[in-house]
Structure 1
Amino acid sequence: MAEDRMMTPADVVARAMSGEHGDLLRDAVALVVRELMEAEVAQLTGAGRGERSEDRVANLNGYRQRAWDTRVGSIELAIPRTRSGPSYFPSFLEPRSRCEQAIVSVVMEAYVNGVSTRKVDRLVEQLGIGAMSKDRVSRLCRDLDELVAEFRERELTDAYPYLWLDAKHVKVRERGRVVSKALVVAYAVNQDGVREVIGLDIGQVESGPFWVAFLRSLKARGLHGVQLAISDHHEGLKAAIAQVLDAPWQRCTVHFVRNMHGHCRRNERGLISAGLREVFQAADGTEARRRVGELLDRLAPVAPKVCELLDAAEEDLLAFYAFPKAHWSKLRSTNPLERVNKEIGRRSDVVGIFPNDASAIRLCGAVLIEQNDEWLTCRRYLSEESMAVVLAGPIEDADEVHDLEVASLAA
C-alpha cells in the first residue's frame, strides 16, 4: 500500500498499459484523493509537507490508515496526522451519512463533557476525531439537531389508517447517574400505502400519561384517519389509544405467543404455539374465533393460566381480521418494524450511554430520517387498491371485506 500511495500519474498509466496492474480507475481515484489530502492538510497547517514557513500552525506526524469503500472498490487511505494545532479530516469523507454524523456527534459530546468510557475512547481513536472543543461539538450537533427537529415537527397532512407504536429503552446520563429511558417511535402507513416514520420522543418512563402526551402531539401535528393501532401489550398505551385516537387496538400476536411461553411448561410450548398459529392464520375472523374456543378447551386441563390470558385478550388479538386479507400478515404484529428497531439498537449500542436526552434523539432521529427517505422512494408497502378498501370505512363483515377488495383490485 505504501507503494500505491507514492505512485505518480505516470506510474499509474505505465502499470495499466503494461498489464501489470489493470485496476486503472481505482488507482486513479487513490492518486487523486492522495493529492487532495496533501493539498488540504497544507492549507490547514499553513505549509506543505517538508516546507519551512513562518505561517505554519501545525506539524505533521505521519499517517493514519483508513479503508474507504467506493464504487470502484476499497481504497486504503493514508490520512495525514497533525502533532499539534488543528486536526485534519478529509473533506471528501465529511459529508458522511446522517447516521454516521450523528454517531460522531454523540461520541464527541460524551467525550467533551467528561462522561467518556473506554468504549468512547476507542471510538474517538478509530474515528480519527482528534482534538476537539465544545464549540466544534456544538456546531456539528446544531446542524443535526435542526434537521431532526424539522423532521419530528413536520405537519402530517395525509390520512394514516394504520399506526404502529413501539418503545425501546436506552441508557442516558442524567444528573450524574445513568438512568433507563423510553425512546418511543410512531410508524404509519399513509393513504397511498407508503410507510412513514411520523413521531419520535423520549421520556422518563413508558407510562400512560407519557403515551397520552405523545399521541396528542401527533394529533396536534395533523395525525388523522387512524383505523387501527398496533403495538405490544401495555395497559397505559392501550388506554391512551382509546382516549386520544378512539381507534381499535391490535395487540402484537408474536409478543403474545412469547409471553404465553412464560406461563406453561417447556414441553407444552410447542402445543400452545401451534394452536395460536392456527388461530392467527384462519380464513376469516369467524373461523379464528371458533378456533380460539377449541384451543381453550384443549388447553384448559394443561395450561389454565394461558387460557385465562387468551380469553381476556381475544378481541385485541383478532382485530386485524376486520381489514383486507392482503394486510393481515402486516397488521397482526410489530414484526415489520424489526429491521428498523435492530438498526436503532445497533447504532445506540455503539454509544452505550448517551450523555443526555438530546443526543439520543439526535442519533435515533438520524437513523429514522434515512429509513423514512428509503421508504418514500421504494415500492408501496400496501397497494393503493387495497388501501382504497380501508379508506372506504370500517367494515364488520369479513366476506364484505373480501368482496370489496376483489372488486377494487379488478377495477
Structure 2
Amino acid sequence: MVATCYLLGVSTRRMEKLVESLGITRLSKSQVSVMAQDLDAQVAEFRSRPLDQGPYTFVAADALVLKVREGGRVVNVHALLATGVNADGHREILGLQVTSAEDGAGWLGFFRDLTARGLSGVRLVTSDAHAGLVSAIGATLPGAAWQRCRTHYAANLMTATPKSSWPWVRALLHSVYDQPDAASVHAQFDRVLDALSEKLPKVSEHLDQARADVLAFTSFPKELWRQIWSNNPSERLNSEIRRRTDVVGIFPDRDSLIRLVGAVLAEQHDEWAEGRRYLGLEVLARSRVTALPDTTTGTGAGTEEVTSTDTIPALSA
C-alpha cells in the first residue's frame, strides 16, 4: 500500500484517507493502473496550465538528478524546476521538465515553454551558474537580471581558495552580505577585494569577476534580500522531492518519474496557494520599479554612496 502511494506521487496519509473513505482495503493492479492514468492526466494539466497570475517578479530555477531505466541501462536524467512569486505575493510551481542532460538546449526549451504559457514581468532569476541556464535566461527573459546563488557561489569560490585560507575568505564573503544597505554592500565588497588582492590575488580576481552576478540582489528592497540572493528557499521543496523519490530509487521510466515529481509539485503548489503570502504586496510593488544595478559604479541607480565602518578580519597565521 505504501509503495503504491509513493509511486502514484501522493502522500501516504492522503491516499490512505481516500481509500478508507471508499471502503477499500486493498488495491488491485488494474485499480492502480486506473489511478495512475488519472494522476498522469492531472499532472499533465498542471504542467501545461497557463501562467496567468503574473507578473512573476522573482523566479528561481534549479535541477535535480534522478535515475531512470532506459534501454536496459540505468541513466541519470535531470528534472528542471522553476518556482516564482506571482502578483498576489504567493509562490507558484511554474514548471517541470525532464531532460537527458542539463545542457543549454534543455534549459532553453524549458524557459521557452514557460514564456509560451505566459511567464512575464520577471525582474530577477536566481540560480546557479550553469552556462546553459544563464544563457537561456538571457534569451527568453530580456530585461530580467540574474542573481548567482550565493550558496553555490561560495562553494565555487572555496575550490579556488587554499584550504588553510578558506575560513578567512568565507568570513570576508559573509561580511559583504551582512551590510545594512546596497551602497554599504558594494563598499564592503571593494574592501574585501583590496584585502584579498595582496595575499590571494587569484581569489580576488575570481570574486571580482562574479561581482555583478552575486550582488544583483542589491537593486531590490532590503526586506527581501534573503528570499532572492540564493536558492535556499527552494531547499525544503527539493528535500521533499528527494524524500519521495528516494523511496523509489530507480524509476522504471520517465513517465513514472514525472508522475511522482509532478504530483509532489502540484501538492506543494496548492499548499502555497492556500497559505500566507510569501512576499508582501507593497514590497513587490517597489521591486517592480526598482532600477537595475549600475555595474560600472558598483551601486544601484539612485542610491547614495556611504562609507561602512566594517573592518576586514586579519588572515590567521
Structure-2-length-normalised TM-score: 0.83
1:99 aligned partner: 11
- Contact 2:9–2:261, Cα closer than 8 Å, also in 1: no
Q: Which amino acid aligns with 1:335?
A: N
> Tell me, what secondary structure is at the counterpart of 1:182?
strand
Distance 1:241 1:344 in 2: 24
Of the candidates 89, 104, 121, which is equivalent to residue 193 of structure 1? 89
> Tell me, what secondary structure is at the counterpart of 2:61?
strand
RMSD of aligned residue pairs (Cα, Å): 2.8
Q: Residue 102 and residue 310 in structure 1: after superposition, are their counterparts in 2 closer, same or farther (change >3 A)? A: farther
Of the candidates 105, 108, 133, which is equivalent to residue 212 of structure 1? 108
Q: Which amino acid aligns with 2:42?
A: L
**Does the alignment pair 1:152 with 2:47?**
yes
**Does the alignment pair 1:267 with 2:267?**
no
> Gaps (5+ residues) in structure 2?
17-24, 294-298, 305-317
- Contact 1:102–1:363, Cα closer than 8 Å, also in 2: no
Distance 2:90 2:103 in 1: 30
2:70 aligned partner: 174
Of the candidates 254, 257, 260, which is equivalent to residue 151 of structure 2? 254
Q: How does 1:332-371 map to 2 (within 5 A)?
A: 332-371=229-268
Q: Which amino acid aligns with 1:272?
A: V
1:229 aligned partner: 125
Distance 2:157 2:26 in 1: 48
Distance 1:389 1:309 in 2: 32
1:139 aligned partner: 34
Distance 2:39 2:277 in 1: 28
**Does the alignment pair 1:295 with 2:192?**
yes
Q: Residue 102 and residue 363 in structure 1: after superposition, are their counterparts in 2 closer, same or farther (change >3 A)? A: farther
Offset, 1:263: 2.0
Q: Residue 384 and residue 223 in structure 1: after superposition, are their counterparts in 2 closer, same or farther (change >3 A)? A: same
Offset, 1:99: 3.4
Offset, 1:267: 2.5
- Contact 1:250–1:318, Cα closer than 8 Å, also in 2: yes
Deviations, residues 368-401 of structure 1 (Å, cap 9, x unaligned): 1111111111111111111111233545575858
Q: How does 1:59-98 map to 2 (within 5 A)?
A: 98=10
> Tell me, what secondary structure is at the counterpart of 1:202?
strand
Deviations, residues 247-278 of structure 1 (Å, cap 9, x unaligned): 11000011111222222233212111111111
Moved over 4 A (4+): 101-104, 395-402
Q: Residue 280 and residue 103 in structure 1: after superposition, are their counterparts in 2 closer, same or farther (change >3 A)? A: farther
Distance 1:304 1:398 in 2: 26
Q: Residue 167 and residue 208 in structure 1: after superposition, are their counterparts in 2 closer, same or farther (change >3 A)? A: same
- Contact 1:99–1:366, Cα closer than 8 Å, also in 2: no
Distance 2:9 2:126 in 1: 31
Distance 2:274 2:303 in 1: 29
- Contact 2:182–2:303, Cα closer than 8 Å, also in 1: no
Offset, 1:283: 2.7
1:164 aligned partner: 60
- Count of aligned pairs: 286
Distance 1:101 1:210 in 2: 35
Which structure carries more relative contact order (alpha carbon 8 Å, separation 6+)? 2
Q: How does 1:389-408 map to 2 (within 5 A)?
A: 389-392=286-289, 394=291, 398=300
Q: Residue 365 and residue 299 in structure 1: after superposition, are their counterparts in 2 closer, same or farther (change >3 A)? A: same
- Contact 1:172–1:356, Cα closer than 8 Å, also in 2: yes
- Contact 2:70–2:253, Cα closer than 8 Å, also in 1: yes
> Tell me, what secondary structure is at the counterpart of 1:156?
coil
Distance 2:204 2:11 in 1: 45
Distance 2:69 2:9 in 1: 26
- Contact 1:231–1:333, Cα closer than 8 Å, also in 2: yes
> Tell me, what secondary structure is at the counterpart of 2:230?
coil
- Contact 2:147–2:217, Cα closer than 8 Å, also in 1: yes
Q: How does 1:375-386 map to 2 (within 5 A)?
A: 375-386=272-283
Distance 1:362 1:303 in 2: 49
> Tell me, what secondary structure is at the counterpart of 1:300?
helix
Distance 1:308 1:369 in 2: 43
> Tell me, what secondary structure is at the counterpart of 2:65?
strand
Q: Which amino acid aligns with 2:102?
A: E
Q: Which amino acid aligns with 1:243?
A: A
Larger Cα-atom Rg: 1
**Does the alignment pair 1:183 with 2:79?**
yes
